[in-house]
Amino acid sequence: MTSAPISSPAPLHADLLAQWMLREDVIFLNHGSFGAVPRTVLAEQDRWRHRLEAEPIELLGRRQPELIAAAKEPLGQFLHMRPQDFGLVTNATEGINAVLQSLRFSPGDELLTTNHVYNAVRQSMRHIATRQGASYREIPVATPVENGQRIARTIIDGLSDRTRLLVIDHITSPTALVFPVEPIAAACAARGVELLIDGAHAPGMLDLNVPATGATYYAGNLHKWACAPKGCAFLWVAPHRQADIHPCVISHNYGQGLAAEFVWQGTRDASAWLTLPAALQFMADLGWERIRYHNHALTVWAHAMLCERFAVSPLSPIDGQLLGATATVRLPDPLTHLTDDQAKALQQSLYTDHRIEVPLFGWQGAQHLRVSCQVYNRPADYHRLADVITAVARDL
């Protein structure tokens, strides 16, 4: 990720918010949680739903493999994946669970991750470790972090002789850091440790070549930063491990290879997957490079501005070298000392009373907020957030 000067970028177009389904009276700073879908993409999904209901047997019964193959093609090109090496799933959680449920662990094996892990993934790993008599451990990666090398060194030094599987986030959820996955993957390969990358936020946010990460397994969402409809994600598996990996739902195509098994996981609404080409095209028409430049530059600027307005230290370098299109910032005193319940109430009040949607997180005993920066956001959105938060902090 190249660093950008700390000034806000020019918008790509004047009125992009109107092209999304989002309410115009809400300042939406949480693209990261569930994404947000453009109007034309939702209209395309509606068309698919109508087509599927008009010809259910023809489209789902006979042509689903062909339709899914067509939907996978532009995704494969976008992320440099061969069609036989990945399957579509509903969300990153499902992709990660497919891997965890497929693997066999022995007593003494260790499932390893970091303390930045997404909580749902933590629970999945704990569940599998408990059921199979293996152990679960988190490597503490302390913040503030100086640079990517420090993160990689901490994680590599945290591997043990018992580690069978390492799970790392490509972009962490609570701390919004881009982890340096390639050196970590190289160290895992050298030690015979399998690496599962949780890339929930990466497709569309980063210029991503999935196989080149060096991961054994890579799960990514398309309903976040690729702006596909909700329920659109993928799981990529390195060729040498594909025979052992199966979808969470085993169905007719069991044993027919990774791509075939993921095509049919029981009757389900395939419209989000079938709309994927339209979503990728919508974003490509805006220009992926321009989108990424804009979103990163806005993030670097908003991160620095919020740290200054809140008078707090950043979790990562202020030049933005560890940021993508999201940034986590500590809340100013006294808000940073709120309990989790009080922070939850504040988040609701930001939405209800101030029409600002932004997530608050507890991290290492202090309350933080995380801003997302998508092409429909403007610098004024973050100034308004800073004004409201500083006023709330002053009046507490």
Ligand X SMILES: Cc1ncc(COP(=O)(O)O)c(C=O)c1O
Distance, CA of 283 to CA of 295 (rounded, Å): 13
Q: How far is the CB of 201 from ligand X (least distance, A)?
A: 6
Burial code (b: 16+ CB inside 10 Å, e: under 16) for 101-124 equals: bebebeeebbbbbbbbbbebbeeb
Q: How far is the CB of 221 from ligand X (least distance, A)?
A: 5
Indicate the residue type of 192.
G
Q: Which is nearer to ligand X, 351 or 379 (CB)?
A: 351
Q: How far is the CB of 170 from ligand X (least distance, A)?
A: 8
What residues line the site for ligand X (CB under 6 A)?
Answer: 33, 91-93, 118, 120-121, 169, 173, 198, 200-201, 221
* C-alpha dihedral sign at 31, 262, 248, 102: negative
Q: How far is the CB of 9 from ligand X (least distance, A)?
A: 24
Q: Which is nearer to ligand X, 205 or 278 (CB)?
A: 205
Q: Which is nearer to ligand X, 221 or 265 (CB)?
A: 221
List the structure tokens of 332.
């100013």
Q: Which is nearer to ligand X, 101 or 390 (CB)?
A: 101
Q: How far is the CB of 169 from ligand X (least distance, A)?
A: 5
Maximum Cα–Cα distance across the chain = 63
Q: Which is nearer to ligand X, 91 or 374 (CB)?
A: 91
Q: How far is CA 323 from the centre of its chain?
A: 13
List the structure tokens of 26.
């809400």
Q: Which is nearer to ligand X, 76 or 324 (CB)?
A: 324
List the structure tokens of 282.
């919508």
Q: Which is nearer to ligand X, 173 or 271 (CB)?
A: 173
Q: How far is the CB of 316 from ligand X (least distance, A)?
A: 16
Q: How far is the CB of 383 from ligand X (least distance, A)?
A: 26
Q: How far is the CB of 200 from ligand X (least distance, A)?
A: 3
Q: Which is nearer to ligand X, 223 or 354 (CB)?
A: 223
Indicate the residue type of 343.
A
Rounded to whole angstroms, what are the CA distances from 149 to 109, 254, 257, 300, 376? 27, 42, 37, 20, 33
